[in-house]
Amino acid sequence: MENEELNRFPLIGDKFPEMTVQTTEGKVKLPGDYSGKWVVLFSHPADYTPVCTTEFVAFAKRKDEFDKLNTALVGLSIDQIFSHIKWDEWIEENLDVKINFPIIADANGDIAKKIGMVHPGKGSQTVRAVFIIDPQGFIRLILYYPQEIGRNMDEIVRSIKALQVSDEKGVAVPANWPENELIKDRLIIPPPTDKAAAKKRLEEHECYDWWFCHKENK
């Protein structure tokens, strides 16, 4: 029972638990130090591994794009701080890419276990988890990848853009947005709550039917 609790899968909509962590850029309070910003917290199985190295390079190369979205990047693995620092240096020296975001040192695995980044059957290594946390500190999206498969960073960027648009305009976002096969970059209007509203929306919006209406993204 205790092990199950430690590995509890955090739920979308949960408040991210307050914690103070040691990173390559000093101590950080999560999510408090990032209040008012979106956060992408992601775990990787281990330093000095090929897939993880490609992921860190991909994240670093998109740092400006995340900055424009008011989004901070924070990495984590069950490694000691000196390992993170040395791997960070290796990437810059050998691949000419500067890792421009903090990496949490979780040598005992306590943090990873607390938020469900360690899964049964995977030993003591973290899986490739992604938590997108909103400016109020709530978990809004969770992605899990196996150790063998690297993440798609463009999808993480797209997800943040979609969440921000959804929050700002009170809409839903279609598959593959902004290149949806049916409605392109348009946005889906939430379903009506009564018959009168269902009839009225057919007069006010473009619709396939009253339950599937959409509007321009403006």
Cα 113 to Cα 7, 65, 75, 105, 186, distances in angstroms: 5, 30, 15, 13, 40
Catalytic residues: 52
Residue 125 near residue 36 (C-beta atoms within 8 A): no
Report helix angle 153-169 to 50-61, nearest 10: 40
Residue 77, both tokens:
């693995």
Place of tokens 């609790």: 5
CB 8, CB 116: distance < 8 Å: yes
State the sign of the Cα–Cα–Cα–Cα dihedral 83, 96, 71, 43.
negative
SS3 142: strand
Give 173-194 as a DSSP string.
--TTTTSBTTTBT-EEPPPPSS
Strand 187-188 and strand 212-215: the pairing is: antiparallel
Residue 146 structure tokens: 């196996």
CB atoms within 10 A of CB 136: 11
